[in-house]
Amino acid sequence: MLLPVLIPAIRSGQAPDSLITPSPMQSPSFFRRATHLARLAETPEWDILVIGGGATGLGVAVDAATRGYRTLLLERADFAQATSSRSTKLVHGGVRYLAQGNVRLVREALRERGRLLRNAPHLVRRQAFVIPCYHWWEQGWYLLGLKLYDALAGRLSLGSARALSAAETRQHLPGLQTRGLRGGVLYYDGQFDDARLALNLAQTAADHGATVLNYVAVTGLQKDAAGRLGGATVRDAETGREYELRAKVVVNATGVFVDAVRHLDQPAPPLVRPSQGVHVVLPRAFLPGAEALMIPSTPDGRVLFAVPWQGRVVVGTTDTLVAQAATEPRPLAAEIDFILETAGRYLARPPQRADVLSTWAGLRPLAAPTQVGAATKEISRGHKLLVSASGLLTITGGKWTTYRQMAEDVVDRARQLGALAVQPCSTAELPIHGFVPTGSAAQPAEAADPLATYGSEAAAVRDLLRENPAWAEELIVGFSGIQAQVVWAARHEMARTVEDVLARRLRLLFLDARAAQAAAPVVARLLAAELGLSETWQQQQLKAFRALAAGYGLP
């Protein structure tokens, strides 16, 4: 397997653009919005135009670019701004899907979980989970299911599940409610930073020649006289400039918004029914150990996780059908109360609303129910492909863990639709941007280095301090993020707004909404300096971010 060594240096010039024979060894300066935006007017026709910059769309762009196709990905907002940054931060097969008998989906997800750990070790790691058992029958039942879970993973298993005594369970889960505890079951799954993986996928696609842009919206689809889809009209949100683009294949990978894009093509019945998943973030003191808590059965028959993540504890999630997709969905008070009450039954110190640091909602693109009253937990998380009469290729469903397999299926179908040259998929073994071999001296230790998620670029971020030592200062006391990360995000990660930085590049909004508001003025000042924007822009950004952050507090 070829392991690309990403150049950890900051260059002032632009890397050469190549659409057909790209080099996977690009400097950070290659991923600049101005570079990619210029190609919209320069490229006469694309092989594949991908609409949507979430997990699925970015995966499609990576797959298409590595096959040598002229690839363009457009995202109307920021990469992973919606569903793909709002997950439970787990790379997993789905224990609940196994209980439902969906063995195929679980096997596929476990295979992809293993590939993600291998291809992005700077972002994905093994996480131990403990299921506490309070009834005599639970331990044997859960252990049996998790042994099957391990078996389905095969050689990509992360470790064998095993039974724990009551004493061992208390040791693994300090902070657990121990009254009536009989024992537990330990098993392993994966954990990741979803928004940073999305960003690294965008960079990987660019490394292999794709053009990737945020804040460019598709406003219309173009068809020939025979009604065959042949391109799109798009608008740059920053300048208002419109572009008429030609493409052999157009892929609709917009998640919960796929129906809106389908309606640009033709009237169609809904393909997706959004389901809302809410998470609550608590101080680490509620679960101070390294292991995560898995609650296997909630009052409504679901599962609930409490997972240590970046110095906090993420608890979730819910599964509530909503009438329509919103760009910024809001948690319902009932959902938050449900999470706190359920977690409170298992934690020695039941969390209260005053303990909540942040809360957010994400929307899952579930298949539209075929019957009234269908439960969301019974709707398949598998993915589906649909080709319209005009040739619009739509992908829907799926989950973060299986993004790569979904992308492979999409590009295989797109190749047929566009009569593109046959090229094999290579992404199963493809290192993702930032890759550092496991065990390498260049790989930062997560516990010791706040820049660990930058992987091979961590040293380059740190080198910014030579340019300006003041950038070593923390953005806010108690948070490990430093000013240099904001500068890096502006220069090399297409961050355009305060929200881009604090929500998805540094994750502070998801960890502590009040702290994020306090850090916003510093971020606005640094961004304005890097992007050449005014004091008026800073004030507009701060006003918008304060309104956004208010929604991450309690309703």
Both tokens of 487, joined, read 């500068």
Given a cut of 50, is residue 6 above it in pLDDT?
Answer: no
Q: What percent of the chain has pLDDT over 70?
A: 90
> Among 202-206, 248-252, 386-390, 478-482, which stretch is predicted with the lowest mean pLDDT?
478-482
What pLDDT is attached to residue 375?
47
CATH 2.60.40.10 fits 123-191+273-369, yes or no: no
Quick one: average pLDDT of 91-119? 87
**What is the spatial distance between Cα 126 and Cα 156, in angstroms, rounded to a whole number?**
12
Cβ–Cβ under 8 Å, residues 261 and 393: no
Both tokens of 466, joined, read 């030579």
Quick one: average pLDDT of 240-250? 98
Topology adopted by domain 46-83+196-269+380-429: FAD/NAD(P)-binding domain (3.50.50)
What pLDDT is attached to residue 324?
86
**What is the spatial distance between Cα 531 and Cα 534, in angstroms, rounded to a whole number?**
9
Given a cut of 70, is residue 34 above it in pLDDT?
Answer: yes
pLDDT band at 26 (very low <50, low <70, confident <90, very high): low
**What is the spatial distance between Cα 234 and Cα 310, in angstroms, rounded to a whole number?**
37
One-letter amino acid for residue 191 of the chain: Q
Q: What beta strand segments (E) does 172-303 contain?
A: 183-192, 211-213, 216-223, 229-236, 242-252, 272-283, 292-295
Tokens 């293993």, located at residue: 114
Given a cut of 60, is residue 19 above it in pLDDT?
Answer: no
Average pLDDT, the chain: 89
- Residue ranges of domains in the chain: 46-83+196-269+380-429, 123-191+273-369, 452-550
**DSSP code, position 502:** I
What size, in residues, is the chain?
555
**DSSP code, position 179:** T
pLDDT tens sequence across 54-79? 999 999 999 999 999 999 999 999 99
pLDDT tens sequence across 352-408? 999 999 999 999 887 765 444 444 444 455 789 999 999 999 999 889 999 999 999
Given a cut of 60, is residue 528 above it in pLDDT?
Answer: yes
What pLDDT is attached to residue 432?
97
What pLDDT is attached to residue 480?
87
Cβ–Cβ under 8 Å, residues 381 and 94: yes
Domain 452-550: give its CATH code.
Answer: 1.10.8
Given a cut of 80, is residue 9 above it in pLDDT?
Answer: no
- Look up the pTM and report it: 0.92
Quick one: average pLDDT of 127-155? 94
Given a cut of 60, is residue 172 above it in pLDDT?
Answer: yes
pLDDT band at 440 (very low <50, low <70, confident <90, very high): low
pLDDT tens sequence across 457-509? 999 999 999 999 999 999 999 898 999 999 999 999 999 999 999 999 999 99
pLDDT band at 95 (very low <50, low <70, confident <90, very high): confident
pLDDT tens sequence across 289-322? 999 999 988 877 788 999 999 999 999 989 888 8
Cβ atoms < 10 Å from Cβ of 468: 11
